[in-house]
Structures are given as C-alpha cells and as structure tokens.
Structure 1
Amino acid sequence: MKTDFQFTLALVEDFFQQPAIQSRLQLITQHRITGWEIWLQVEFACFIDTYPEIGNWYRECQYDIDKRRSNTRKSMAIDFAFRRKHTNKDKYIALEVKQSLSTTQCIHNLFKDVEKVWHMKSSEDDLRSMWCLGIHPSSSQVEVRNTVMKYAKKYDFELDNGCIEYQLIEGTDWGFTLF
C-alpha cells in the first residue's frame, strides 16, 4: 500500500496532468491573472470528488485552537481533509494549498499554515498526516529544496527528505511543490 505521501503525490500528479487544468494555467499566465487560489481549490475539490480512491473529503475543515498554544484565534480551517478508501474511517489526510507568483513566498506561506495547524486542539485531531501543496512559477529542484529546508529550519519542523517533491506542470510556466 502507498504511504500517505505517495498517495497524495499521485493524486496531485493526476490533477495537474489534466489538459483542462494545464490550459487554464496557461491562460492565467498569458493574461497575468492573480488571486486564483480559490479557483484551483474548487477545481481540486471537483477532481477528488470523483477520484476512485477517495472515500470522502471535506473542504475548509474547521478545528478549534488549543488556547495554551495560541490566544489570538479560536479556530482555524484546513483547506482539504480526505480519506483514502479502505482506511480508518475517522482519520484523514490533510492538505494545505497555496498559490503565489513567488516560489519563496509560496513555500513560506505553506509553513505558516503548518504552524497554524500545530495549534489545533489535540482532542479534535483526526489527521493521520498533513501535506502542503504550493503552486508557483517554475523553478529549479535545488532552489525549491533549499527554500523548503530553510523554512523548515526557521519554523523548527522536521521534514523527511524523501517527502519533498517538486515537479513542473507540463505545458505551463508553473510547478508544484509537495511536502
């Protein structure tokens, strides 16, 4: 059986291999459209709704914040929580999604989301794993990996080197990073 990272990576790869998504990303580049993260999340929601290996999924899942860890907010939302078929029915894979015109800013914003999830009340934690997906202009593998490791160190998060993936999105000027 695939690990959660392998499963999530295959899901993301299948999503970005869709010709319709690739052509829309080209259009976004051609017309310099900004603020399209919500559009991408809606497209992703439609995609996972019909994905044969997804048991069920939620978007913008609300969780209470542990007041001992943060007193500035009472709740927070995770972009996606989904469950693989034939897995524990009360444990979900979380996915935070960010889009930016800057690779560095995209990765930094993802780490800020990881920090936010870190403040979740443990009594509400139904997550088996959490992954971050960033969509940003194409870059080099080395630059992306160095940026991810820089922010992992800054936020004091330990990452498995085998669970950091950067790929170009075919036919576009964009790439995605998953960690």
Structure 2
Amino acid sequence: MNKNAINGDFNFLSSLFEKFFKQKYIKDRLLLIEDKEITGWEIWLQIELAFFLDDQNNVMEWLREVPCSMDKRIEKLKLQGIIDFWLRERNKSTETMIAIELKQHKDAKQCIKEMMKDINKFNSLKPSEHSYIRSFWCVGVHRTIQEGTCLTYINENKQGYTFDQNHLLSQEIKGTNFSFTIL
C-alpha cells in the first residue's frame, strides 16, 4: 500500500472522528451510557456515525455493513465477513475505499483486544477483496487510558501484524470518561 495514501487516510479519519466526538449530543449520550451502565451500544454508535458521515462535505460516499468473502485457508469457519463501514473521501480515488471497523467496550484492554481481532479478520479476506480497500482501520471507544498503555495492549494482541505507531491515535473525549482509539 502507498504510504502517502495511508498517512492521508489516517489524517482524514483522525480529523473526522475528532469532529464526531466533539458533538455535545454524542458526549451527552456517552455520559448517559456510563451513568446507566448501558452495554452493547456499538450499533447505536454505528448509526450515529452514519448520520454524521452523511452530513460531511469531505465524505463523498459511505456504505455500512459491507460483506466480504473470507479466505478459507485462513478463516476456516466463515465464508463471509462484514466490514462496518467503507467510505470514500471527496477528491480521492473513486476505485478504492477506506474500511473501518468500530468497537466499544468500557474496558480499554478488552476493546483493543477486539480491535486487534478485527485487524486479523481483515488479513483473512480473500486477496481479491483487498483490491477495493485502500486502507483498513479500527476505531474503538473505551474508558480513557494513556496512549502508552494502549500500545502495550496492541503489542499483547497483534498476530503477524506490523503495527506502525505513527498510525495510533488515542484521544480523550472531553467531558466524558471515554476515549476513542484509531489503529
């Protein structure tokens, strides 16, 4: 993959998610989720993100829950996987998309473990499916931890994955006890 494209995608997504999590409405909901100890709110997060993406001028196109064929030599149990979002930045390639998996868990260690599983899932897609994906990212929402701790959890859970620390953003969602992490 082209390093400039990957860096551009990381910067684009970092800016997009910073803007998403600055919304008062989203912060208020996260406070309620924590206060009422609500679990299983990943689909809510996906739907809110879909509404948000639809309003962004720099997002040319987005798709949700895109099916992809799995390579049976690697992923023995499934024929197909689902990627949460594919999106295309305006004025970028019309032939490839950015793939995003979302995760949420109040425990940062568990959230990052699940994010790393998704990275491994991406690596088990059929090679023909990769041609449509310019870059693949996981975005997790979890209780706030230090970025160094985040990196420790990543290293504990990576399997055959070369992790570029320059493509890690773990940022507190101000006014809440949550952070979002992009890797």
Class of the TM-score when normalised by the shorter of the 2 chains: over 0.9
Identify the residue that residue 73 of structure 1 maps to in structure 2: 78
The answer to whether the Cα contact below 8 Å between 2:122 and 2:136 also exists between their aligned partners in 1 is no
Is the partner of 1:81 in helix, strand or coil? strand
Alpha-carbon distance in structure 1 between the residues aligned to 2:14 and 2:73: 34
1:62 Cα deviation after fit: 0.3
Is the partner of 2:31 in helix, strand or coil? helix
Cα shift readout 1:59-91 (whole Å, capped 9, x = no counterpart): 110011122222211000001110011111120
TM-score (norm 1): 0.94
Instruction: Give the partner amino acid of 2:106.
Output: L
Instruction: Give the partner amino acid of 1:150.
Output: E
Sequence identity percentage: 36
Alpha-carbon distance in structure 1 between the residues aligned to 2:148 and 2:76: 37
Unaligned 5+ residue runs, structure 2?
none
Identify the residue that residue 11 of structure 1 maps to in structure 2: 16
Identify the residue that residue 177 of structure 2 maps to in structure 1: 173
Using the TM superposition, name which of 93-102 and 1-10 deviates more.
Answer: 1-10
Identify the residue that residue 56 of structure 1 maps to in structure 2: 61
Using the TM superposition, name which of 54-63 and 141-150 deviates more.
Answer: 141-150
Alpha-carbon distance in structure 2 between the residues aligned to 1:168 and 1:86: 30
Moved >4 Å (runs of 4+) = none
Instruction: Give the partner amino acid of 2:37.
Output: R
Residue correspondences, number: 177
Alpha-carbon distance in structure 2 between the residues aligned to 1:61 and 1:11: 20
Q: What's the RMSD between the two structures over aligned residues? A: 1.3
Alpha-carbon distance in structure 2 between the residues aligned to 1:70 and 1:31: 37
Instruction: Give the partner amino acid of 1:12.
Output: F
Identify the residue that residue 90 of structure 1 maps to in structure 2: 95
Identify the residue that residue 126 of structure 2 maps to in structure 1: 121
1:119 Cα deviation after fit: 1.3
Unaligned 5+ residue runs, structure 1?
none
1:102 aligns with 2:68: no
